[in-house]
Chain A
Amino acid sequence: MTRESNERIVLAAGLRLPQARAGGAYAGEDTGHLGATLARELLARTAIDAGRLDEVIVGCVGPPHDQANVARVIALRAGVPRHVPAQTVARNCASGMQAVSAAVARIEAGRGDLFLCMGVEVMSAYPLIFNSRAVGFFAGLAKARSLGARLGAMARFRPAMLAPRIALVEGLTDPTNGLIMGKTAENLARDFALGREASDAYAVRSHERARDARERGRIATELVPHLPLAAKGRRPNTVSLDHDDGVRDDQSMQALGKLRPYFEKPDGVVTVGNACGITDGATALIVTTESRAHELGLEPLAAIRGHAWAGCDPARMGLGPVYSSAKALDEAGCTVADMGAIEINEAFAVQVLACQHAFASDEFARKELGRDRALGAIDDARLNPNGGAIAIGHPVGATGARLLLTLAHELRAGDHELGLATLCIGGGQGGAFVLERIAS
C-alpha cells in the first residue's frame, strides 16, 4: 500500500519551548518531562486523538542514561496510548530534522500518515563520566569480598581518578579526526579567508534580529512558555520562561572584541561570542498528509517540497548545508533564487559565512558539487531573518526541528512561496528541507 503520489506531506502544526542557556532555566529539567510537556500542549492544541498517531519520533543526541529510548518515555508521559510506538532517532545536530525525515519516508512508503515528530535536548543534564582508571577502581572494590581484599582495593585509590571525562566536550569532538567542532570552523575560516571582524559582525546581527523578532511578536507565535522543573531537592521554580534567554539585547562589536579565541589560541576566529551557545530546548511538529490534516481540522503551516541528506569532509563539516541543499533543491525542482527565506543553522558565525560564500561560488560548485554554476548567492536579508543559534542557542537534538518550525512560520510572516532550512552536522554531513507555503 503506497500513498497517492500527488499528495503533499505537510507540517500540520508545530510548537516549541523557549530555549534556555545550559545550566540556566532548565538546569533541573528532565528530558522526558520537557518533551512530554511540549507534546501534551501540541496534542491539546491540535485536538488530535493521540491514539491515532502512527508513531512518535523524537530526535535527541544525548538521551539521559535512564531514558535510552527517550521517545517512548516522552510519548507515555505525554499520555499517548501505549499501542502507539515510539522511536528515538539520532543524526547529531540534525536529530530533530531526522525525526521529520523519518516520518516523510514512512508516509512515502505508505506506512502511516500521522506522526508526532520532535527534537529534544537537555544539554544541562549531560553527565560527567568517571575515567577508566576510576571505573577499574570501583570494579575492583565491588569484587573484593574479604576485609583484607577491600582494604587492598581501597588502597589503590589515586586522586587522578577524580578527574572526570566531560560528556559534552567528548560529544562535540569528532572521534574519526579528533577535531572538536570549533576547530572544524577554524578550518573554514582559513579556507575562505574569513576574519574575526566579519564573524563578530555576523554574531551581532544574529542577536539584533532575534531581539527584533521577539519585540515584534514574531517569536511568540511559535513558542509556549514553560515552567521548568527545579533540580531534585530544590524548591520548585515559580516563574515560567517565556522567551529564548540566550538573546543579548545589547550585544556589540566591542563586547565581542574582548573575547579570546576559544579553540585556537591566540590567532583563531571562533570565540564563545560568535559561536552558538550550549542550550536546552524542544520543538514538536505534526507531520502528515495534506488531506489528513484537513480531516483533522488543521490548517497546515507548510508543505514539504523536498529534502536531502549529504556527506562531506568531516574536518569541514560546516559546509554540509551546501552539499545537502544542492540535492534538496534539485529534488524540489527549484533554485536558491526561488527561496524567500533561508535558515542556515548558526553553529558558528564563520561557518554560516563560509556556506554563504560556497553557495555563491562557481569554483566550489565545480570542484565539490560537480556542477557548472554556483547554486546561487544568498543575500543577507533572506538569510536567518529572525537571527539564529548564535543568539537563541543550539540544543543539538532539537535544532533541526526548530529550523523547520521557524521557517514554516516565516513563510507566512514574510509572505514567501518557498524557503530552505538547512544545517551542518558533526561528522561531516548536511541536511536540507525545502518548504512551500500552503494557500489558505
Chain B
Amino acid sequence: MIHLTGLPEPEGAPAPGACVRIERPEPGLAIVYLDPPHRPKLAAFDVALLRDLDAAIDELAGDASLTGLVITGREPLSFAAGADVETIAKISDNELAGRFVREGQKLYQRIAALGKTSGGRVTTIAAVGGPVPGGACELALACDRIVFADDPKSRIGLPEVLLGIYPAWGGSQRLPRRIGVPAALGSILTGKLHRPKAALRMGLVDRLAHPAYLIRIASDIALGRMQCPYRGRRGWRALLIDKNPLAGAVIAHMARKDVLAKTKGHYPAPLAVLPLVVRAPRVSIEAGLELEAQNVLPLTSSPVASNLIQIFLGSEQAKKLSRIASGPDGELVDARKIERAAVIGAGVMGGGIAGLMAEKGLSVRLRDLDRKQLDAALAEQMTVIGKKRKQRRLEPHLADAAIDRLEITTEAVGFARCELAIEAVAEKLAVKRAVLSELAGMMAPDAILATNTSSLSVDAIAEGVPSPERVVGMHFFNPVRRMPLVEIVRGSATSDDVVARIAKLAVDLGKTPVITKDVAGFLVNRLLGPYLDEAIRLVESGVDPHEIDAALVRFGMPMGPCELIDEVGLDIASHAGASLAAAYGDRMRASRYLEPLIEAGQLGKKTGSGLFLWRGERGGKQKNAGRNPALSSRGGLSLGEDELVDRCVLALVNEAIRALDEEVVAGPAELDLGVIFGTGFAPFRGGPLRYADARGCDEIIGRLQALRGARDVVASGARLERFAPAELLIRTASEQGSFHPRT
C-alpha cells in the first residue's frame, strides 16, 4: 500500500473506492477503469485516484486466477490528464512533495511488477486515448503493452518540462528504455505530445486501434488471443547507442548545448533530467527511480516551476471565462458558439483574424473597400493553409474547408446572417463608428459588434450604435496566428453574455482570453508603453540598442525592446505612445527621438530600417545588419546590464501595479497571465507582479527611487512620475504584503 496521508485532498473527493471500477467480463481478465466522479471531464492523478488505484492493484495482485489486465479510462478518448497540477501547486512542503513523487513511483512499480515484462504473471495492457500526458503516459509506460486510440484527439507524451519539472513517476527511466535515448530526449526535453501515427512509429505505443474497438482489442491481447509485438527498442541499437557510455556522453553533450541555446539557462528542468535519461538504460530501474526522485525535488520547490505551474493553472482558468450562468439554478454552461462571423478591414490584422476563424471552422465574410487588400488576404490564407497541408498539419479536406469558408466582398451585402462582426479598420474614431453603425443596420439586433481597436475607447466607439450592450473590444495581437492572447475589452454597457461569447470564440480560436477594462492601451499596450519608451530613451542617451536588447533577452524576454519597436513599426509605436500620453499624462509622455526617422519613412522591419538596419526578404525572415547610422545620440551613456533591465522592466512593473490598483483586470493572476501571453514577458519569472513579489516591494521601491534620481532621468523630466512608486506598491510594502497571496 502507498501512503498519501498529509497530501492535499482534491475538492469534492468521493468516498474511497469510487474513483476506480474493476470489471471482470470473462475468466482471467480484469479491466480497470479510471472514473473519478469528482472530475467529470478528464481524470487526473490526485490523492483520491491514486489511493483507489492502489487499492485496486492490491486486490488484483492477490488474485491468482488473473492472467490479463487492462487499464483504461472511463471512455476510450478520456483517460487521464496526468498528475493533478492543482495538487502539485498546493504542496509547499518539501517532505510532502517527496512523498507525492515516491508514492506515485511505488504505485507504478507495483503495476509494472505484475506484468510479464518484469517477470510477473499477468499481461498488462494500457488501453488509452485522447490526451495522455505526463503521469497518464507514465502509467501506460509501466504496462507490458500500450494500445492507443487512433483518433485526431489522441496525444501522448511527457510535457512536464513545460511546467518546470520533469516526469518523475518513472517516465524519465521507462521512456528511454522503451524508445531509446535520442528519441526520449527529443520527447522529454521539448515536452512534445505525439499523435497516434508518430507515437507508433517511434515505438512509444505498440498498436493503434479505433476508439470503439480499444477495449476489445486490449482484452484480446491481454488474454493472448491476439498477438501484439512490442514496438519498443531492442537489439543492436540498444547495445550500440543506449547502453554505450561513450555514445551517451556525446548525445548528452549535444543535447545540453541545444537546451542551453533554447532556454538561455533560464529553465533548469531540461538540464536536470538530461543525464537521468541518458543513463537510464545503463542502471537498474530501482536505482534510476531513486535518482529520478532525488533530482526532481529541488525543481518542485523552485520558483521557476511554481511560476510555470501558476501560468498553466491561470490559462486553464481563463478558458472558463467562456462559461456563463444559465437556467433558474444558475448552472455554468458554455456560451453559445459563433458559427458565422464578419470581419471588416482586410489589412494584416483583419485578414489574419478572418483567416484564423475560417481555419477554426467559422464561416467568415471579410469586407474591404479595396479589392486588392481582399485578394491579398485570401492569397495569404491560401499560402498559410497550403503550407499546413504540405506539412500534413491539416488534412486535405480540412485545408480545403479553411479556404472555402473565407468569403471576400467589397460590397455592403451578405452580412444579415453573421452573428458577430469584428472591425479592424483604420484607428480613427469616426471611421470605426461609421463602420459599426453600418453593420448595425445590416445585422440582427442582437448580433455582436466587436472592435479590434488597440488605442481607442470601446465606449467612445459604441456611442450612437443602437443597443450598445453588444459592443465589445476583441483585441488580437500581431501576428494574429502566433500571438496567444486576446484582450476582451468590456465597455460600460457590454453585457455578460456578449463577453462570455467572445471569450468562447477566443478559446475556440486557440487563444487565451483576458478581460480588461476600457482604459487607454487596455492592459498589454499600456504596460508596453513605458517599457518601450525607456528603451528609446536609453538609445537617445547613447546606449547601443544591441546592448539593451541583449540585456533584456538575457532577462528572459523573447525579443529585445528595440527589435520589438522595429517589428511593430515606429509609426505604430509612436501613435500608440501618443494616445497613452493623452490618457495618462506625463508619466507616459514618449520621447520625440524617433520622429526624424518616422518622417524619413524609416519605420522598422517593414521598410528595411528603423532602430536597426534589416537585411533580407521583406515579410520573410530578416537579419539584423547593425545599428541604423541615421540615429544620432547625445553623448555616450554607459550602464550596467542590471541597470538597463531595471529601467525598462521596472517602468513596466510600476505601471502594472497601477493597473492592478485600478482593477484593469480581475486580479494579479490575470494580470501576469495577460502580460506573459501578450508580450512574452519571461514566463519563468511568472509575470511582472510575481517578479515584483520575488524581488520584494521594498527593493522595488528602492530601485525606483534610485532610477528617479538618475541624472538623465531627471533631465528628461517626464519620467519622474513614471518612476514614482505606485501607491499600491507603497501600501503593500508598508503592510509587508505581496501582490500574489503567499503560499
Contacts and interface: CB of A to CB of B under 8 A. Distances in A.
Interface of A: 30, 32-33, 36-37, 40-41, 44-45, 47, 49, 77-79, 224-225, 227, 229-230, 235-240, 242
In the complex, the 7 A-B pairs of residues with the closest C-beta atoms, listed nearest first: A44-B414, A236-B382, A47-B416, A236-B379, A238-B379, A45-B414, A77-B404
Contact of B404 (A44, A49, A78): A78
B403 A240 contact: no
A182 B409 CA distance: 40
Nearest to B372: A239
B383 interface: yes
A45 B405 contact: no
B338 interface: no
A116 to B, nearest CB: 15
A229 B365 CA distance: 18
B371 A240 contact: yes
A240 B407 CA distance: 13
A230 B416 contact: no
Interface in B470-527: none
Contacts of B400: 30, 32-33, 77
A46 to B, nearest CB: 8
A235 B390 CA distance: 13
A388 to B, nearest CB: 27
Contacts of B413: 44-45
A33 B404 contact: yes
A106 to B, nearest CB: 25
Given A30-B400, A239-B372, 20 more contacts: A33-B400, A36-B404, A41-B407, A41-B409, A44-B365, A44-B407, A44-B409, A44-B415, A44-B417, A45-B413, A77-B404, A79-B404, A225-B371, A237-B375, A237-B382, A238-B375, A238-B376, A240-B371, A240-B374, A242-B371
19 contacts: A32-B400, A36-B404, A37-B407, A40-B404, A41-B407, A41-B409, A44-B407, A44-B414, A77-B400, A79-B405, A225-B371, A229-B382, A235-B383, A236-B379, A237-B375, A238-B376, A239-B372, A239-B375, A240-B371
B378 interface: yes
Contacts of A225: 371
Contacts of B375: 227, 237-240
B409 to A, nearest CB: 7
B509 to A, nearest CB: 18
Find the residue from A78, A230, A236 having the highest chain B CB count within 10 A. Answer: A236
A77 B406 CA distance: 11
Contact of B408 (A47, A227, A236): A227
A229 B375 CA distance: 11
Contacts of A40: 363, 404, 407
Contacts of A78: 404
B407 A236 contact: no
B7 interface: no
A36 B358 CA distance: 14
A104 to B, nearest CB: 27
Contacts of B404: 33, 36-37, 40, 77-79
Given A44-B365, A227-B408, A77 B379 contact: no
Contacts of B403: 33, 229
B386 interface: yes
A368 to B, nearest CB: 47
Interface in B373-395: 374-376, 378-379, 382-383, 386
Interface string B196-237: 000000000000000000000000000000000000000000
B91 interface: no
Contacts of B417: 44, 47, 49
A224 B365 CA distance: 14
B718 interface: no
Interface of B: 363, 365, 371-372, 374-376, 378-379, 382-383, 386, 400-401, 403-405, 407-409, 413-417
| Prevailing SS type, chain B contact patch | helix
B382 A41 contact: no
Contacts of B374: 227, 240
Given A36-B404, A77-B401, A229-B403, A41 B414 contact: yes
Contacts of B386: 236
A224 B404 CA distance: 16
A227 B414 contact: no
B363 A237 contact: no
Contacts of A49: 417
A411 B363 CA distance: 34
Contacts of B378: 227, 236
Contacts of A44: 365, 407, 409, 413-415, 417
Nearest to A240: B375
Contact of B382 (A32, A77, A230, A242): A230
A236 B409 contact: no
B371 A79 contact: no
A242 B371 CA distance: 10
A341 B361 CA distance: 45
A79 B363 contact: yes
Contacts of A230: 382
A33 B416 CA distance: 23
A224 B400 CA distance: 21
Nearest to A238: B379
Contacts of B415: 44
Contacts of A235: 383
A227 B416 contact: no
A235 B376 CA distance: 12
A32 B365 CA distance: 19
B714 to A, nearest CB: 54
Contacts of B409: 41, 44, 224
Nearest to B415: A44
A225 B368 CA distance: 14
Contact of A236 (B363, B383, B414): B383
A242 B375 CA distance: 12
A44 B364 CA distance: 10
Nearest to B386: A236
Nearest to B407: A40
B440 to A, nearest CB: 16
Nearest to B414: A44
A47 B414 CA distance: 6
B413 to A, nearest CB: 5
A224 B413 CA distance: 12
B171 to A, nearest CB: 41
Contacts of B371: 225, 240, 242
Contact of B379 (A30, A237, A242): A237
Nearest to A47: B416
Nearest to B381: A236
A225 B378 CA distance: 13
A53 to B, nearest CB: 14
Nearest to B408: A227
Nearest to B339: A79
Nearest to A297: B416
A30 B371 CA distance: 22
B364 to A, nearest CB: 10
Nearest to A237: B379
Nearest to B340: A79
Contacts of A229: 382, 403
A224 B382 CA distance: 20
A44 B367 CA distance: 13
A230 B385 CA distance: 13
A419 to B, nearest CB: 26
A230 B400 CA distance: 13
Find the residue from B363, B378, B404, B405 having the highest chain A CB count within 10 A. Answer: B404
B420 to A, nearest CB: 15
Contacts of B383: 235-236
Contacts of A41: 407, 409, 414
A236 B390 CA distance: 14
B395 to A, nearest CB: 14
Contacts of A45: 413-414
Contacts of B408: 227
A227 B374 CA distance: 9
A52 to B, nearest CB: 12
